[in-house]
Structure 1
Amino acid sequence: MYDVIVIGGSFAGLSAATQLARARQKVLVIDAGLPRNRFADEAHGFLGQDGRAPAAIMRDARRQLGRYPTVELLSGEAIGAEAADNGFTIHLGVGGERQAARLVLATGVTDALPAVPGMMERWGATVLHCPYCHGYEMRDLPLGVLAAHTMSPHQALLIPDWGPTTYFTQGAFEPDPDQLRALADRGVTIERTPVIALLGKAPALAGVRLADGRVVELAALFTAPRTRPATALAAMLGCAHEDGLTGPHVKVDARGATSVPGVWAAGDAASPMHNATLASAAGVMAGIGAHQASIQPTVQ
């Protein structure tokens, strides 16, 4: 019986586990090894780690976490979760189960990109979602924003700080009059003919082909994928969800507590804003919350 099982071994999960380890809690980290950031060669904007590969950051974090004697790391998939006497039972994909008094879910999300040929093979390299994570590396190059939801015009307003920008409405996300004026003030070109294909040898991007046959040269294309929880564990446990800009996420309070007593959530699975630093910070808060609940059981 563990004090806490942390499910997910990326920025949020390992940050939570570190706080718990330092509180001398008996912790199990279960990691399926499929982090959302596996498509990116480098992480940016993360203090002290700028430009390093996410996989290298995680290797160092696991090595450091492994020095704490109360921590175990398990490579595998958690496929089921349920409340049990005095805690929770987690079912593993390879068989077997583990029990803990409390849980931290840092299971992340999966991305569904717009249905345009050439997107997936460039995801994380030249098809991007976060200018703060990747924009600097594309500075002063021709950039595009492929509309995917109602906040896409806002994304298009940001991107000119990194390079000349074209906003592709895809015939579905037309800016309102105020947005059109703001985009014009920012020098954004509006293109209403839909993008039908991405061009160039992936993962590089040379441009996009429009439905009328024209080609627009681009070095990178920003968009907002639709997201969904990477696992159904939170739903199995009965955790409340709420809608974010790109999809549903687990509803949590300021310390990461979910609607289910004894369960915390952190990272992309529990936030409408997705960023490595924010995920790590949320993991810290969830880990602290899960520890303090052990000494104040009525408080989450």
Structure 2
Amino acid sequence: MTAKRTARLAVLAALPAALLSVAGSAPVFAEEDTPAYQIDLEQLNDSGSKGTVLLSARGTELTVWIKSEGMVPGQPSAQHLHGSTEGHDFVCPDDSADTNGDGILNNTEATVHYGDINIALTVSGDTDAATSGLAVDRMPVADKEGKISYKRTIPVSQDVIDHIKDLHVVQHGIDRNGNDKYDFEGAGKSELDPKLPQEATAPTNCGEVKGAAVGSVPVGGIETGTGSSGAGGMSPGMLIGTAAAASATAAGVFVVTRRRMESTSRAAATSAETGGAA
């Protein structure tokens, strides 16, 4: 076995097994000098939806990656950055936020907790909350398995960049009567727009920024929805496999820096050469 092959095997052995499972998928790299923030989406309204978000800021441009599952198959999902750029503390709600006791957490009840729309995460066109908050025709559509894959870089204000850790992502759309579509029979009319079913506007998941910017991770790493630290010692140069994102809530997001990989590779090569000489 050559030193080069030994070094390659040593690098692969050092990677988490779950990261290796994404071989063949297209990885996404964040620039090493770009602050990045992780968000784990957790279900609302017993939707079963979950996912992972990465926010990466460069200047006043914000790149948003979203991988979610458990959405309503073939249906659009309104999604937004909610919260405040004025220092107000908003959080993701729980079941107790259903103040009218009808068993459905509608958007009006939830907004008290997660704040107004700051940015509409559309797939095209503007992202203004007032004009695009309910632009369902420009929101991502879940595939036949109920999964959404979204990436877009959008211009934002400096206030958004400065307060990015005060914002969070919410996706909307539930299937209360289990017929794989939004209809008025499931939960009636939306309190936001009577022309829309409640199922189309009710929140299906929510996630807050966890920890700090990548590169200044607190002790224990960035938290995940499971309370585990799947990232270890994170640093810039984030690698996210598309297949790993769907199960990130259970397993954490696995992050490997190019510097660490190169260092491991060099160390393995040196070890192999030394062993060969012996």
TM-score category by the smaller chain?
0.3 to 0.5
TM-score, normalised to structure 1, is 0.31
- TM-score normalized by the length of structure 2: 0.32
Structure having the higher strand fraction is: 1
Bigger relative contact order, structure 1 or 2, given CA contacts below 8 A and separation 6+? 2
